[in-house]
Amino acid sequence: MESEYLMGRKERREREEKRENYATKHSSEKRKQTLIAIGVFAIIAVIVGYSVVVFLNMTETVPGGPENAGPLGSDHAHAALVVNIFGDEFDFSAPDYQIKSSWTHFEGRDGTTIHKHATGVTLQYLFDSLQLGLDDQCFVFKDGRSFCTNEDYTLQFFINREQAPDIRDYEIMEDDKVLIIYGGQTDEEIEEVLVKLDNQELIK
C-alpha cells in the first residue's frame, strides 16, 4: 500500500515535471520566435531607412547624375521640344531616346514632352544622356551627321517664342516650349513651326 502511494506520488511528480518542462520549453520557443521577429523587423526598418536616405540624397555624387542637380524628386517639370531639321521633325519616341536618365527624359513612347525630375538639370544634360551633340553652332546625331551654322543654313533656338543664342544651360520650367530648328527657313516658315509647337499637348 505504501509502495503504491509512493509510486503514485512519483508519477504525479513526473507528470508535473513534464508539464513544467513543456511550459518552460514552450515559453522559451515563444521568446525565441519573438526575438527573431523583432530582429527581422529591425533589419527591414534599417534597410528601408537607408534606402529613403539614399533616394533623398541622390545628387551629382551618383554616377551619371548631372552636376549641381538637386535630389531626384525635387522638381517635376514638363516642356515640349521640337527639333526641326530641313523641315523634318526628329523622332524622340524611338527606344534609343526613351528614359536614358532618371533626372530628365522622354518616356511612355512619347517623343515630344521632356520630363525633368530634379532642380538644376539643364538641356545640355538631356542631350548628353541621349548621346546627341549640341552647342550654339551645331546639332550632331549619334551617327556623326552634323548640322552646323554656315553661309547657307542656320541653327536657331527658341524658348517660348523668344530666340536664344544658346540653350545648353537652360533649365526647363513647366509648360515651356523649346524649338531647335536648322535650315534656310523663312520667318513665315519658322512662325508656322512655332504655332504648331504652341498647340502641342504636353504628355504628363
Residue 130: which CATH number?
A: 2.170.130
Residue 168 has pLDDT above 90, yes or no: yes
Same domain as 134, residue 93 = yes
Same domain as 48, residue 8 = yes
| Residue from 89, 69, 97, 109 nearest 178 by CA | 89
pLDDT in the model for residue 67: 87
pLDDT in the model for residue 57: 46
Of 10-14, 44-48, 71-75, 133-137, give the lowest mean pLDDT range. 44-48
Same domain as 81, residue 51 = no
DSSP string covering the chain, please? Answer: -HHHHHHHHHHHHHHHHHHHHHHHHHHHHHHHHHHHHHHHHHHHHHHHHHHHHHHHT-STTSTTPPTT---TTS--EEEEEEEEETTEEP-TTSGGGBS--SSEEB-TT-SSEEEE-STT--HHHHHHHTT-EE-SSEEE-TTS-EEE--SS-EEEEEETTEEES--TT----TTEEEEEEEE---HHHHHHHHHHHHTPPP--
Percentage of residues of the chain with pLDDT beyond 90: 67
d(CA 134, CA 136): 7
pLDDT in the model for residue 58: 44
64-99, pLDDT tens digit by residue? 579 889 999 999 999 999 999 999 999 999 999 999
Is the residue at 203 inside a domain?
Answer: no
Residue 49 has pLDDT above 70, yes or no: no
Best mean pLDDT range from 3-12, 20-29, 152-161: 152-161
Same domain as 194, residue 122 = yes
Task: Please provide the average confidence, as pLDDT, over all residues in the chain.
Answer: 84
Is the residue at 62 inside a domain?
Answer: no
Residue 27 has pLDDT above 90, yes or no: no
Quickly state the pLDDT bin for 101 (edges 50, 70, 90): very high
Find where cell 536648322 sits: 182
Is the residue at 153 inside a domain?
Answer: yes
Cβ atoms of 106 and 93 closer than 8 Å? yes
Same domain as 92, residue 143 = yes
Q: Which domain does 86 fall in, by range?
A: 77-198
Overall average pLDDT of the 21-27 stretch: 58
d(CA 153, CA 148): 8
Overall average pLDDT of the 198-204 stretch: 95
